[in-house]
Amino acid sequence: MQLDFNQLRELLADLDKTDIAELTLKSSDLELTVRKTRGGVVETASSIDLSALAAATGGQMPTAPTPVPPANPSNGAEAASPPPPSSEPKWVEIVSPMVGTFYRAPAPDEPPFVEVGDRITTGRTVCIIEAMKLMNEVESEVAGEVVEILVENGEPVEYDQPLMRILPA
């Protein structure tokens, strides 16, 4: 598959206009994965030789489109970016590793994996994400206390969507 700099830039710009969270292109000589994170920032990972791409494009490396702040509907002017938070949040978010359906319990008639206020350890299963009829357990990467569950049981979730907040121990 041949992909020049302009095609890559157009692909990134078009992807930024969609709700697609992740796109992977594979061929015998190219593997390109593009992921949109929260806030419209696009991350790319590739198995192609980036120095060769830079040489082929005159030293210009492809970059993600710059997100445009939304217009303020009340006065038609652009919205000012929010001030940076005064301090980092004390909790850690557990995010969805994939698009699917969120389940709090292993089965409808069983108790939830965790409740708000539960103390958990690293590696503990906290929920299940069902994707394409496969049940994928999501484990905590931190030990601490569950302070908030952000998704309702049976609700669809997106890639990288926060599911729970944990106050580290």
Sheet strands side by side (includes 156-157): 134-139, 125-131, 100-103, 156-157
| Range 109-112 contact pairs with CB under 8 angstroms and sequence separation of 24 or more | 112/153
Q: Given this model, what pLDDT does residue 120 score?
A: 96
**For position 108, what pLDDT does the model report?**
92
E strand or H helix that includes residue 33: strand 31-36
**Segments of the chain with pLDDT less than 50:** 40-57, 59-66, 68, 76-77
Q: How far is it, in rounded angstroms, from Cα 16 to Cα 126?
A: 31
pLDDT, tens digit, for every residue of 85-109? 556 668 999 999 999 999 999 999 9
pLDDT for the residue 49: 45
Show the domains of the chain with their CATH numbers: 5-56 (no CATH), 92-168 (2.40.50.100)
Predicted local confidence at residue 88, as pLDDT: 60
Predicted TM-score of the model (pTM): 0.49
Neighbours of 118 (CB within 10 A): 15
